[in-house]
Copies of this chain bind each other. A is one copy, B any other.
């Protein structure tokens, strides 16, 4: 069942059927009704491949996610899909394996599927300007910013200020009297990752308050409870006196909390703890965990809006910085 069949069955030309389906050009009401009836009756759905081939552009938006199992991304993905579908476009969700270059993957996809636009979610901050330019279609980096010498006019982004928010969390702990503050995050070899930027904020806060930065209080770990758990164990084995833990994600914070609690330590009486992201689980953990809560859904929505503005040519590349909120639930305590 293709457009030719529909044309024959409706007694019109294929061009007319196409015009009816796409609501383009002028077609008399009578003709339109006649065609639509046949379309409905035979449940005709145009072949997307032929369509995209001819138009040398599909209306598909791709979402490249690095870390699809990250619970913080879950609601963002749903919102991106909702917003994209609202605009009548299908969303192709592409998971990018850790260690795989998401821009290269996208480059491939763009050529192969004639994408309409791309949203990148998660991943590193390290991309060259040249790469961005190769990607000749509109795209938005969400949750990713870049500190390389990249001309800001060649890409769009929706981010939070990792340095600033991390500074906020650390300062909060310091204001409560903490001096021995651990920091848990992921530090891959690449520069300019979320972890590295949050480390900068952590160090900045320490320095501003005259606290010496002790690398032994910083542990490298994946963004997962299990990794947070083992990292915290490693930390405790160093026999440092610790009064607070700042985890670069709530998942890490949960693992860290478990490590402390299972040793019989109390949160926040013995150790204060604060996470990052604002996932639901942090609230329902016992004790509920303080966190730097990111407006994930708003960020997702903004990403799609910016992408479609770019597509329609209505605006140039844009960089939006969202503010996160320090949510206090009692897992941090004033000491001394």
Contacts and interface: CB of A to CB of B under 8 A. Distances in A.
Interface of A: 45-50, 52-53, 58, 68-69, 71, 74-75, 77-78, 81-82, 91-95, 97, 108, 111-114, 224-226, 229, 254-255, 257-258, 261-262, 280-281, 283-286, 288
Interface majority SS (helix, strand, loop, mixed), chain A: helix
A284 B113 contact: no
B226 A284 contact: yes
Contacts of A257: 284, 286
Contact of A261 (B46, B114, B286): B286
Contacts of A286: 257-258, 261-262, 285-286
Nearest to A50: B53
Given A225-B281, A258-B286, 13 more contacts: A45-B108, A45-B111, A47-B111, A48-B113, A49-B52, A49-B53, A49-B114, A69-B77, A71-B71, A93-B94, A229-B284, A254-B285, A286-B286
A25 to B, nearest CB: 22
Contact of A95 (B93, B261, B281, B285): B93
Contacts of A114: 47-49
15 contacts: A45-B108, A45-B111, A45-B112, A47-B114, A48-B114, A49-B50, A71-B71, A74-B74, A77-B95, A82-B97, A225-B283, A225-B284, A254-B281, A254-B285, A258-B284
A-B pairs, 8 with minimum CB distance: A69-B74, A93-B93, A225-B284, A48-B112, A45-B111, A49-B53, A49-B52, A258-B284
Contacts of A74: 68-69, 71, 74
